[in-house]
Amino acid sequence: MSKNTQYDQLNELSRRAQTLEGISRLLGWDQETYMPKDATPVRAEQLKLLTELSHEAKTGPVFEAQLKKLIDLKTGKIKASNLTQEQQAAVRLYARDFTREKKLPSQFVQDFVHHTSQAIVTWQKAKAANKFAMFLPSLKKTIDLTIEKTELIGYKTTAYDALIDEYEPGITTKEVDAIFEEVKAGVKPIIKRAPKPKKEIQIDCTLNEQLEMCHELLHDIGFDFNRGRLDVSSHPFSQSYHPYDSRITCRDESDSLIVQLLTTLHEAGHSFYEMGFPVKAFGTPLAQAVSMGIHESQSRFWETRIGRSRAFWKFFLPKLQKRFKKELKLDDFMSRLNQVQPSFIRTDSDEVTYPLHVILRYEIEKELVSGKLAVKDLPKRWNAGIKDLLGITVKTDVEGCLQDIHWSMGAFGYFPTYSLGNIYAAQMFEAFAKKHPTWEKQVEKGQFGFIQEWLHDNVWQHGRRYDGNDLIRKISGKALTAKPFINYLNEKYS
Ligand SMILES: [Zn+2]
């Protein structure tokens, strides 16, 4: 049997695991969109079965034996001699995932899942009652388990490295610290000088009208409805199961069609990324996302760099005017769209204040995991942080530390990827604009194919072959830096 066939066999096993994961996510999509309410218990049973099967498929003895034929798991040395560079990269990624997964004993994983599934319910109740104290014991246990997790996974410098590595492989806490310091220093003066908020631009429309506009927008930017769909759920999200099957959702935003359209661009950016993976490599790391930060860079690229640009609205605003028979001046519209206003809620905030919300969560997570901050003192720490960063006073836990679901899910290490997404996107955009200096002229005319092409060539087609740092260096010739992001904001709010 040739070595190459062994590589193909490993891919077959992985493809099986990924197909099972795809089915389970598809059931999750159905649960959020069309599933009848009473099906909840049976859906939980279906998902449990699929999780067991896919876990076995990617960590079981069959997969391990096949993987060991290609790489020495202890030394990381590739054993197969005739693999291409790309195939070697894939094998290293298989080994990385496998080794990380194996470090967590299945009893620990079960305990973690069991605890967090209850913690989510506790958090929902605490949020409804606006009382952090109700969530405190549960969060305390999540943090204990999270600390245990970092010990099981291991780390070189700081425990937080083991957490962030799950979502942003290859990046260290030290690197994130330096980048976020740059962001903090760059953003604070912009908030001070940014113009005061303008009056809301109201376009009243029904859910059906919103969906019509979103479909039109998606058609315009080149979303392929033969390979994807748009539906309604309580929170907008994007999911892909294969490059030929991508789902995005939106929620009823009767108050703000603008938010609706920007959110649709955001979710479409996530979808484009996965629709652009090489179909032939489906099931292998060469058709997977690099990291959560790179995934987020793809959504932010469309939402902020295209969707908040004047060029885009020169093209799309006339469509709104025609559809809703409303006089909308481009200048008014642009200043409303790009206003800066410190807000308590992360998901409601503008692109200047947004990173500060993320940085606060990141700093708190590090303090909780290192034991520097006692869990009971979290609200006090949170409120002082918001006051310091945004100059506003938090009055209740709901507008403070109870607002996000992430900690109830045990997703420590996730938050930084949101801002890294903006930072990656800005650095990518700089390279994109260098290649396409007349991008605005094309966007004004409703041409978007060249954007897809650039993203495909520079990001999508590589799958996970490069980590975030290597990919951004390959695209821009520089290591990851917050400078392009800060420059972009400075120019916009000068
Ligand atoms: Zn996103």
Q: How far is the CA of 369 from the centre of ligand 1 (A)?
A: 25
On whether both 139 and 195 belong to a single domain, the answer is no
Q: Is the dihedral of CA 290, 185, 262, 323 positive or negative?
A: negative
On whether both 345 and 441 belong to a single domain, the answer is yes
On whether both 427 and 359 belong to a single domain, the answer is yes
Q: How far is the CA of 406 from the centre of ligand 1 (A)?
A: 14
On whether both 439 and 459 belong to a single domain, the answer is yes
On whether both 197 and 308 belong to a single domain, the answer is yes
On whether both 101 and 167 belong to a single domain, the answer is no
Question: Nearest 5 degrees, angle CA 472-CA 475-CA 481?
Answer: 40
**248-262, 335-349, 428-442: which is most confident:** 428-442
What pLDDT, on the 0 to 100 scale, is given for residue 417?
97
What pLDDT, on the 0 to 100 scale, is given for residue 87?
95
Length of the chain as a residue count: 494
Q: How far is the CA of 317 from the centre of ligand 1 (A)?
A: 24
Show the domain range for 61: 3-155
Q: How far is the CA of 296 from the centre of ligand 1 (A)?
A: 5
Residues 462-478 have pLDDT tens digits of 999 999 999 999 999 99
On whether both 373 and 476 belong to a single domain, the answer is yes
Separation of alpha carbons 473 and 494, rounded Å: 28
Residue 53 has a CB neighbour count (10 Å cut-off) of 16
Whether residue 56 lies in the annotated active site: no
Q: How far is the CA of 270 from the centre of ligand 1 (A)?
A: 7
Pick from 155, 190, 219: which residue ends a domain?
A: 155
Which residue from 97, 85, 87 is spatially nearest to 169, judged by alpha carbons?
A: 97
Q: How many domains does the chain have?
A: 2
Q: How far is the CA of 81 from the centre of ligand 1 (A)?
A: 40
Residues 360-377 have pLDDT tens digits of 999 999 999 999 999 999
Residue 1 confidence (pLDDT) above 70: no
On whether both 121 and 246 belong to a single domain, the answer is no
Torsion of CA 294, 144, 154, 56, to 10 degrees: -70
What pLDDT, on the 0 to 100 scale, is given for residue 4?
57
Residues 110-151 have pLDDT tens digits of 899 889 988 998 999 999 999 999 999 999 999 999 999 999
Residue 39 confidence (pLDDT) above 60: yes
The CATH number of whichever domain residue 254 belongs to comes to 1.10.1370.30
Pick from 155, 173, 204: which residue ends a domain?
A: 155
Q: How far is the CA of 144 from the centre of ligand 1 (A)?
A: 28
On whether both 144 and 270 belong to a single domain, the answer is no
Residue 432 confidence (pLDDT) above 80: yes
On whether both 123 and 172 belong to a single domain, the answer is no
Pick from 100, 130, 155: which residue ends a domain?
A: 155
Q: How far is the CA of 82 from the centre of ligand 1 (A)?
A: 39
Whole-angstrom CA distances from 35 to 24, 41, 229, 494 are: 14, 12, 17, 49
Mean pLDDT of 66-81: 94
Q: How far is the CA of 83 from the centre of ligand 1 (A)?
A: 35
On whether both 205 and 103 belong to a single domain, the answer is no
| % of residues, the chain, pLDDT over 90 | 83
Q: Which of 168, 253, 267, 274 is catalytic?
A: 267
Model pTM score: 0.95
Residues 232-287 have pLDDT tens digits of 998 899 999 999 999 999 999 888 898 899 999 999 999 999 999 999 999 999 99
Which residue from 95, 108, 85 is spatially nearest to 63, judged by alpha carbons?
A: 95
Question: Nearest 5 degrees, angle CA 482-CA 466-CA 103?
Answer: 100
